[in-house]
Amino acid sequence: MDITIFEAFLPHTDKEASLAFYRDALGFEVRNDVGYAGMTWLTVGPVGQSGTSLVLYPPAADPGVTEAEARTISEMMAKGTYASINLATPDLDALFEKLTAADVDIVQEPTDQPYGRRDAAIRDPAGNLIRINEVR
């Protein structure tokens, strides 16, 4: 079976902060910017990798989400426990230096993990946990 990951979804709460983080700090390109009823969906992705994107969406846009559920989602996002994603880079130290200079929220500095990976962790402006693995 020929199947790939095309898009992954992460919630966001602030368009300008999300753009500054994903476009300016991580270097992703903006592929789509759609507004509707006061909400914004942003599609971003790594330059040169058009087949894989992140869609940053308003977390309570689903009409099936109640007000109480929306509050719970907001609380979980604020604690950084709602959503996460793993990224990869061949030079974690260089990327980490760039992210530190961009004043990104650092959760964990580059670390050699006991399970064989070298990684770091950051949070985006919405509180999503982003682990960055070094892949050589």
Identify the burial level of 11 via C-beta atoms within 10 angstroms of its C-beta, where 0-12 means exposed, 13-18 middle and 19 or more buried: buried
* Each residue's pLDDT expressed in tens, for the chain with a length of 136 residues: 899 899 999 999 899 999 999 999 999 999 999 988 878 899 999 999 999 999 999 887 777 889 899 889 989 988 889 999 999 999 999 999 999 999 999 999 999 999 999 999 999 999 999 999 999 8
29 Cβ partners below 8 Å, 6+ apart?
A: 23, 44, 45, 46, 47
Domain 7-134, second-level architecture: Roll (3.10)
94 Cβ partners below 8 Å, 6+ apart?
A: none
Single pTM value for the model? 0.90
Q: Taking the domains of the chain in order of start, what are their residue ranges?
A: 7-134
Residue 131's SS3 state is strand
pLDDT for the residue 83: 93
pLDDT for the residue 35: 86
